[in-house]
Amino acid sequence: MSRIMRFDHVGVTVRDLNKVTAFFVGLGLEVEGRTFVEGDFIDTVTAIPDSRTEIAMLRTSDGGTGVELSSFVRPDPQPGSPAAMANELGLRSLSFEVDDLQARVDRLAAEGYGLVGGIGQYEGAWRMAYVRGPEGIIVSLAERLS
């Protein structure tokens, strides 16, 4: 029987690859690589003929699960819902554990990225907040309370 070996990455399609990459690098991820992909492989996988995309792969410093940012050169990207709420169907957030939630939220606010709601606390174990980043991407930041 076939089995999943590990959770490797989450893919996010974006319009401005530089801006979104900078956002995630600012959160603490590291760029693992960046390249263009076109030809039979990408056409087959995406079912989009004659496509070309630029991809940036980012990971945490421990080499864990990655974030693949993909920006289509052709065909033109199709807009999503940049103000999606948490109850809109589909992928809603990427979650990261941080060591100082308030400091991270303050730094992102200084860069123009605001909270979706507020900072919540769950059963005395976690503090968490949703931050809306570039292109409407929601990042969940969680701090474990000792």
CA distance 130 to 115: 6
* pTM for the full predicted model: 0.89
Q: Which residue has tokens 């990971």?
A: 59
DSSP letters spanning 36-79 = EEESHHHHHHHT-TT-EEEEEEEE-TT--SEEEEEEEEESPPPP
Q: Which of 90, 71, 88, 83 is nearest to 132 (CA)?
A: 83
pLDDT (tens place) for every residue of the chain, 146 residues total: 889 878 889 999 999 999 999 999 999 999 999 999 999 999 999 999 999 999 999 999 898 899 999 999 999 888 888 788 778 877 778 999 999 999 999 999 999 999 999 999 999 999 999 999 999 899 999 999 98
CB atoms within 10 A of CB 111: 12
Rg for the chain, CA atoms, rounded: 17
CA distance 36 to 4: 27
